[in-house]
Amino acid sequence: MSRRRIWTAAAALLMLTAAPAWPQEFTGEELAHRLGCRACHTWQGAGGTHGPALDGVGQRRSRPELAQQLTSTPSRRMPSFAFLRPQDWQALLTFLEGL
- Closer CB to ligand HEC, 66 or 91, in the complex: 66
Does residue number 60 form part of the binding site for ligand HEC (CB under 6 A)?
A: yes
Does residue number 36 form part of the binding site for ligand HEC (CB under 6 A)?
A: yes
Least separation in angstroms between residue 36's CB and ligand HEC is: 5
Whether the Cβ atoms of residue 25 and residue 67 lie closer than 8 Å to each other: no
Does residue number 91 form part of the binding site for ligand HEC (CB under 6 A)?
A: no
3-state secondary structure (DSSP) of residue 54: coil
Does residue number 99 form part of the binding site for ligand HEC (CB under 6 A)?
A: no
Site for ligand HEC in 38-57 (CB under 6 A): 39-41, 50-52, 54, 57
Q: How far apart are CA 20 and CA 17, in angstroms?
A: 9
Whether the Cβ atoms of residue 7 and residue 15 lie closer than 8 Å to each other: no
DSSP secondary structure code for residue 47 in this structure: E
In Å, what is the CA distance from 34 to each residue of 28, 51, 61, 64, 83?
A: 10, 17, 23, 22, 14
Residues that bind ligand HEC (CB under 6 A): 32, 35-37, 39-41, 50-52, 54, 57, 60-61, 66, 69, 73, 75, 77-79, 81, 92, 96
